[in-house]
């Protein structure tokens, strides 16, 4: 296999997989961080006697690995991989898959080879666009996707016709669809045909299903936020490596901003001004509006930020 060169300016964001606490890291978690497999698959390897710790066979699932321990699987030394976490602005017209049985373009055709080993956290359908996270960190994926974590995702949605106020209330109360009862956490009218939708539990194609059930067709769907991390002015087809503070924002661990910033400039393009002139008023229907932190530069002036600065931003190749 020919090694792929990292793209110019590429650097991995390294998160140590070994706990700084005295109790160390559970063996299956350590093996998963070495890209051996899922934690369940690693449990099977341990029980099968295929794992050695410091030269001795280890079949105890409760074993913890300390800094300096040597671990082997099938006689081969393994070590945690550097963790890479990337924010990517998925353009419309691409599917979130490495290969597509219908021959459609995938997001990996836009990414450099050094990022092809990353998996996408969740997905956006072919006709949707916006913020998508890619990583090789299974724990991060679990924290972002597990329903118990209730990580917020914010979308700007444009429909084919004006929204009725009663329908906005219905989106909050819940809509019965083919996939069951689906609801939004918060709704805010931005114009006659354009609203902001916040979800904290995402079903497949949830927004489109809710809208179709109520008689609307989604003409544009843009994800602008995950956790407290905004898309900012990261352009379609571009990607950026996240810094530790941005990862904290993604996970909701950063201190929220005291004042909510304006929506990212990249999310305010199009004919919104024309729609405002048509009479769409602002109508906030959130039971508890979140106050997410905003990346420096994701404000109206579009100043450079760690996510969107020329040094960090790379055009997907």
Indicate the SS3 state at residue 185.
coil
Alpha helices of 95-163 — where are they, by DSSP H?
138-145
Vertex 168: Cα angle to 280 and 299 (nearest 5): 60
State yes or no: is 125 an active-site residue. yes
Residues 6+ apart with CB under 8 A from 195: 156, 157, 159, 163, 168, 187, 188, 189
Contacts of 168 (CB under 8 A, 6+ apart): 187, 189, 195, 283, 285
As given in the structure block, the two tokens for residue 283 are: 């109508």
Tokens of 208: 């489109």
Among 43, 69, 125, 139, the active-site one is 125
Q: How many CB atoms lie within 10 A of CB 14?
A: 12
Active site residues: 125
């Amino acid at each position: 296999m020919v090694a792929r060169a990292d793209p110019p300016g590429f650097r991995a964001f390294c998160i140590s997989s070994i706990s700084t606490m005295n109790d160390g890291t559970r063996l299956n978690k350590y093996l998963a961080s070495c890209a051996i497999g899922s934690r369940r698959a690693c449990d099977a390897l341990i029980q099968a006697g295929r794992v050695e710790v410091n030269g001795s066979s280890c079949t105890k699932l409760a074993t913890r690995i300390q800094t300096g321990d040597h671990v082997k699987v099938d006689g081969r030394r393994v070590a945690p991989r550097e963790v890479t976490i990337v924010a990517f602005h998925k353009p419309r017209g691409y599917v979130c898959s490495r290969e597509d049985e219908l021959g459609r373009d995938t997001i990996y055709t836009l990414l450099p080879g050094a990022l092809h080993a990353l998996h996408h956290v969740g997905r956006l359908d072919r006709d949707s666009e916006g913020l998508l996270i890619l990583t090789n960190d299974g724990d991060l994926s679990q924290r972002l996707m597990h329903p118990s974590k209730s990580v917020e995702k914010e979308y700007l949605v444009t429909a084919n016709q004006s929204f009725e106020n009663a329908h906005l209330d219905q989106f909050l109360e819940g809509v019965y669809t083919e996939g069951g009862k689906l609801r939004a956490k918060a709704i805010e009218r931005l114009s006659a045909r354009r609203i902001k939708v916040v979800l904290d539990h995402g079903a497949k194609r949830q927004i489109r299903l809710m809208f179709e059930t109520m008689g609307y067709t989604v003409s544009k769907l843009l994800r602008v936020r995950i956790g407290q991390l905004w898309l900012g002015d990261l352009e379609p087809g571009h990607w950026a490596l996240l810094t530790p503070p941005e990862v904290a924002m993604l996970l909701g661990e950063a201190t929220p901003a005291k004042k909510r910033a304006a929506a990212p400039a990249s999310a305010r393009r199009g004919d919104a001004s024309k729609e405002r002139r048509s009479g769409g008023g602002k109508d906030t229907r959130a039971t508890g509006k979140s106050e997410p932190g905003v990346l420096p530069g994701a404000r109206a002036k579009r100043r450079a930020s760690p996510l969107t600065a020329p040094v960090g931003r790379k055009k997907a190749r």
